[in-house]
Amino acid sequence: MQTLLELYHYRFILSNLVGRNLKVMYRSMSLGMLWTLLNPLVMITTLTVIWVVVFGNSLSFAARVIVALIPYNFTVYCLTGCVHAIPGSASLVKKSAFPRQILPIAIIATHLIHFGIQSLLMVLMLLLFPLEGGHFGFHLLWVVPIFLVQLAMCIGVGLLVAGLNVVYRDVQYITESLLTVLFWICPLVYSDIELSKLPPWLYHLFYMNPLSGLLTSYRDVLFHGHMPGLVPFGQAVVGTLVVGWFGIRTFWKHERDFADLV
Amino acid sequence: MDCAIRLCNVSKCYRIVRQQPFLASTLFRALLRRSRPPDVHWALRDISFDVQKGEAVGVIGSNGSGKSTLLSLIARTSYPTSGEVHVHGRVGPLLELGAGFAPELTGLENIYLNASLLGLQRKEVDAKLDSIIAYAGIGDFVYSPLSTYSTGMSARLGFAVIAHIDPDVLLVDEALSVGDQDFQRKCMETMEGFKRRGKTMFLVTHDMPLVQRVCERTIWIDKGRIAAQGPSADVIAHYTDRSPRPPS
């Protein structure tokens, strides 16, 4: 809570850092932020061609993937960015005294802008391919709590990897490898039937990962058109609390040494 | 009089890092209960002194004696291993060149970033912007990325921001020696202005005439310990006696 108040006080630093991040990312690109739409478009096109054209599934399959893929991308971008948040701003950390957590949070805020742009793609898709059962209703409000839990999870895990990567230099490689595994241990490309074939212990292991619960909840609300299942969403909340507590503790523990280590 | 900076028995120890540790090997060693004691270097040992409000104190000593470590502790970018550091009021740290600047941003954007890191809000920067640009005196370069600047130009920009945040405690580390005559004169005027307004100054430099001119008191640090402190003229005389003279 105190961290949040502090963030409000340091909002000016935050906006300057987000501006810098955007500028570094799009330094020499004339199309600028439109590039952020390219990656999900390529991904969806590939998936659609393979699943719909080659294997003859229905077109709604693409919509089913995209509603989970875009939140998934946000998480991955946040974590890959956070790993380098502190060393990437070494000159600021060494020379100025400001709350260090602003650096990873500025990375997350930057990707939040990308997430917003990519979500427009998602909305467009849902308008183009309206699904049976009706999409528009009060259940859509569930997106807000789901998103807030996801944001909290990104901050928690982001602080964890940002802090550890200053102290141990292999954390960035470990994170990269784990993110590759993450793609396959999330309900992204699997159908519900495939998931239900899992043995129960593996199914529970699968949902230990808080992102699984979040992606399932997004899909329930945006694709299936009903409120999220309380079990996967509850698991995501618990997972986020655990990982967030651990992340904040780890970051605090090492925060004072950052200037000496980067 | 009030105390602006107080250090009580401050020591700072760095681990000598030949190679940053791997998480994997650290966990492995923890499992085997075999940990290697790290090699350490004490950059500062048992330093205690007070700086009164409005006082200007110089810090001298050879390279690697711990002067910059001392400044980073007062600037709160780094924390002591033991002992306590108390600083009252807003600190204006000018630690090396281009402190708190991002090379990919323009000078203008860096003014905003730097000022925000020093604790200013947007409105305050907006109000002082023209004055900061005029003080830096780098012309149209404020609209170019900092990576195109010369060393002197980024020092100008850095000092221009510090001069406008109105710090209670000004920390200066070797930054002024790179500026040209005109800029050094401007810096002198600003520092003397600070002094007149009762601000505290803490100056680390090898420029003995500058110390003698600005600071009434000087601390000489040698191998992480205070070798001497007192009126500037005495300490400087002592220091130049002990230091090897350049061959003439």
Domain with residue B221: its CATH number is: 3.40.50.300
Instruction: In whole angstroms, give the CA distance from residue A116 to residue A122.
Output: 10
* pLDDT 10s digits, B149-180: 888 888 888 888 888 888 888 888 776 666 77
Residue A218 identity (one-letter amino acid): Y
The answer on pLDDT for A46 being more than 80 is: yes
> Does residue B61 have a pLDDT over 60?
yes
- Note whether residue B164 is domain-resident: yes
Compare A242 and A260 and report the one with higher pLDDT: A242
Q: Can you tell me whether residue B100 is helix, strand or coil?
A: coil
* CA proximity to B59, closest of B194, B181, B217: B217
Q: For residue B105, list chain A residues with Cβ-Cβ distance below 8 A.
A: 19-20, 23
Rounded to whole angstroms, how far apart are CA atoms A14 and B122? 11
B119 closest CA partner among A18, A97, A104, A103: A97
Predicted pLDDT at B246: 53
Each residue of A11-34: b (16+ CB within 10 Å) or e?
A: ebbbbbbbbbbeeebeeeeeeeee
pLDDT of residue A105: 92
> What's the pLDDT band for A72 if we cut at 50, 70, 90?
very high
Q: Is residue B247 part of a domain?
A: no
User: 3-class DSSP state for residue B44?
Assistant: strand
Instruction: Please indicate whether, in this complex, the C-beta atoms of A91 and B98 are within 8 angstroms of each other.
Output: yes
SS3 for B92?
Answer: strand
Q: Is residue B11 one of the residues assigned to a domain? A: yes
| Structural domain containing residue B13 | 3-242
Q: Which tokens in the block code for residue B58?
A: 């110089």
Split into its structural domains, chain A has a count of: 1
Residue B241 — φ and ψ, nearest 5°? -65, -45
User: B126 in contact with A at a CB cutoff of 8 Å?
Assistant: no
The answer to the question of residue B209 being in a domain is: yes
* The pair of three-digit structure tokens given for residue A96, joined into one six-digit string: 């100025």
d(CA B39, CA B14): 9
Torsional class of B46: left (φ above 0), alpha (ψ -120 to 50), beta (otherwise) = left
* CA dist., res. A81 & res. A75, Å (int): 10
Residue B155 lies in a domain: yes
* B104/A164 touch (CB, cutoff 8 Å), yes or no: no
Number of domains composing chain B: 1
Residues of B in contact with A260 (CB under 8 A): 14, 78
Q: Quick: pLDDT tens for A79-115.
A: 999 999 998 888 888 888 888 889 999 999 999 988 9
Q: Which of B116, B124, B128, B147 best probes binding to A when mutated, by most A CB atoms within 10 angstroms?
A: B116
**pLDDT tens, residue by residue, A119-148:** 888 888 777 766 665 567 778 889 999 999
Question: Which residues, in sequence order, are bridge partners of residue B41?
Answer: B14
Q: What is the pLDDT of residue B176?
A: 65
> Residue B63: is its pLDDT beyond 70?
yes
B107 vs B141: CA distance, rounded Å: 7
Residue B204's nearest CA partner among B92, B61, B30 is B61
pLDDT the model gives residue B248:
47
B40 φ/ψ angles, rounded to the nearest 5 degrees: -125, 155
Domain carrying residue A9: 2-261
Which position has the token pair 């791997």?
A: B22
Q: How many A/B residue pairs have CB atoms within 8 Å?
A: 87
pLDDT tens figures, B172-181: 877 666 677 8
pTM listed for this prediction: 0.84
